[in-house]
């Protein structure tokens, strides 16, 4: 089981939005641990949208935006 972040406040990536940031995702993951939800089986943090760089890798794969996710995924 997991938690879907829906990183945008308004759900519209690319228009009026607040993008995912590494610190925000880390805080949400820590909240799963601190609240005891991890012990109940919630062990995934789903980044639904607005996390990727605009350009794909040379092999065509999505990659995280290096500014918002400096540690990678």
Residue 46's pLDDT is: 85
CA-wise closest residue to 48 among 14, 26, 20, 18: 20
Q: What is the mean pLDDT of the chain?
A: 83
Residue 24's pLDDT is: 85
- The phi and psi torsions of 38 (rounded to 5 degrees) equal -60, -40
Beta bridge partners of 44: 2
How are beta strands 44-46 and 2-4 bridged, if at all?
Answer: parallel
Structure tokens at 23: 């610190």
Q: Which residues of the chain have pLDDT under 50?
A: 16
Structure tokens at 73: 């995924």
Structure tokens at 12: 């519209």
Q: What are the pLDDT digits (tens) for 39-58?
A: 999 988 888 777 888 899 99
The residue segments making up the domain with residue 55 are 1-73
- Whole-model pTM: value is 0.74
- Overall domain count for the chain: 1
């Amino acid at each position: 089981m997991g938690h879907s972040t829906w990183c945008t406040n308004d759900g519209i990536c690319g228009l009026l939005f607040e993008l995912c940031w590494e610190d925000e995702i880390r805080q949400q993951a820590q909240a799963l641990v601190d609240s005891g939800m991890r012990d109940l089986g919630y062990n995934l943090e789903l980044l639904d949208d607005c996390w990727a760089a605009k350009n794909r890798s040379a092999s065509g794969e999505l990659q995280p935006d290096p500014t918002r996710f400096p540690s990678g995924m």
